[in-house]
């Protein structure tokens, strides 16, 4: 099943030490080495523990290596984490619980989980906001439209790379809209100085 950022426009859609006496817990950082340059993403496990654990599991297991940015919408977002250059969808683990109610907003350069209309359907796909997208923020748990999209980090370096990807020419490929004409690929995704992440908790079911 194709995942997407549900929205009206889609019709469904670091912390450094302050001195020798001060210590501050380092936030995990993931590097995406793309064909357009490197992007560094600072993650917020204190705000989105399930989502960060899930993302790091995919990173540590090289799931994202070789995948493309398969959906790019100018002045909105760039999405990746699910398709090969041949537009074959890569299957991820079971979906996780939506943590969009964590107080983090879909501001410019933040990273959030992509999903279907089911709020608890996010697996591996994610997107980076290329502008402030407040309409994607959590409002209530009444429906998929109001639940919002879980933000769990922000681009800390490589913003110009995000901007460049957000401006590429797009078209239709394999029945999907907004696919970059020129392949924009994640060559490698990795983090430094941490043990492999465990499986994230699956989404709750009624």
With bands split at pLDDT 50, 70 and 90, how would you rate the model's confidence at 13? very low
Q: What is the pLDDT of residues 125-162, one digit of tens each?
A: 999 999 999 999 999 999 999 999 999 999 999 999 99
Q: What is the pLDDT of residues 177-188, one digit of tens each?
A: 999 999 999 999
CB 79 within 8 A of CB 124: no
Contacts for 11 with CB less than 8 Å, ≥ 6 apart: none
Query: What integer best gives the mean pLDDT of the chain?
Result: 87
User: What is d(CA 100, CA 51) in angstroms, rounded to the nearest whole number?
Assistant: 10
User: What is d(CA 21, CA 188) in angstroms, rounded to the nearest whole number?
Assistant: 36
First vs last C-alpha separation in the chain: 21
With bands split at pLDDT 50, 70 and 90, how would you rate the model's confidence at 191? confident
Q: What is the pLDDT of residues 33-51, one digit of tens each?
A: 999 999 999 999 999 999 9
Residue 15 has pLDDT above 90, yes or no: no
Cα 195 to chain centroid, rounded: 21
Tokens representing residue 105 in the block: 């907003």
Determine the 3-state secondary structure of 44 from DSSP.
coil
Residue 200: DSSP 8-state: P
Strand partners of residue 44: none
Furthest-apart CA pair in the chain: how many Å? Answer: 58
Give the pLDDT score at 30.
97
Percent of the chain with pLDDT over 90: 79
Q: Is the dihedral of CA 106, 112, 113, 116 positive or negative?
A: positive
Residue ranges covered by each domain of the chain: 28-191
CB 55 within 8 A of CB 43: yes
User: What is d(CA 206, CA 204) in angstroms, rounded to the nearest whole number?
Assistant: 7
User: What is d(CA 51, CA 36) in angstroms, rounded to the nearest whole number?
Assistant: 26
pTM score, two decimals? Answer: 0.85
Neighbours of 120 (CB within 10 A): 17
Q: Please choose, from the candidates 151, 195, 156, the residue with its C-alpha nearest in 3D space to the C-alpha of residue 46.
A: 151
Neighbours of 166 (CB within 10 A): 19
Give the pLDDT score at 18.
35
DSSP string over 66-100: T-BEEEEETTTEEEESSB-TT-PBPP-S--B---G
Q: What's the CATH number for 28-191?
A: 2.40.100.10
Q: What is the pLDDT of residues 60-77, one digit of tens each?
A: 999 999 999 999 999 999
With bands split at pLDDT 50, 70 and 90, how would you rate the model's confidence at 4? low
Q: What is the pLDDT of residues 95-120, one digit of tens each?
A: 999 999 999 999 999 999 999 999 99
Looking at per-residue pLDDT, the higher value among 194 and 20 belongs to 194
């Amino acid at each position: 099943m194709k995942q997407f950022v549900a929205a009206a426009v889609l019709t469904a859609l670091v912390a450094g030490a302050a001195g020798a006496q001060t210590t501050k817990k380092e936030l995990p950082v993931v590097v995406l080495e793309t064909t357009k340059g490197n992007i560094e993403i600072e993650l917020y496990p204190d705000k989105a523990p399930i989502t960060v654990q899930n993302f790091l599991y995919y990173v540590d297991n090289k799931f994202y290596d070789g995948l493309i940015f398969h959906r790019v919408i100018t002045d909105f977002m760039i999405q990746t984490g699910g398709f090969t250059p041949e537009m074959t969808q890569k299957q991820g683990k079971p979906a996780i619980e939506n943590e969009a109610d964590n107080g983090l907003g879909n501001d410019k350069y933040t990273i959030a989980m992509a999903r279907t209309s089911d709020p608890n359907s996010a697996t591996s796909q994610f997107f980076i906001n290329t502008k402030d997208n407040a309409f994607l923020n959590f409002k209530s748990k009444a429906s998929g439209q109001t639940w919002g999209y879980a933000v769990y980090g922000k681009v800390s370096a490589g913003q110009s790379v995000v901007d460049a990807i957000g401006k590429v020419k797009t078209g239709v490929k394999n029945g999907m809209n907004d696919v970059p004409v020129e392949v924009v690929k994640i060559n490698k995704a990795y983090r430094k100085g941490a043990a492999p992440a465990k499986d994230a908790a699956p989404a709750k079911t009624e």
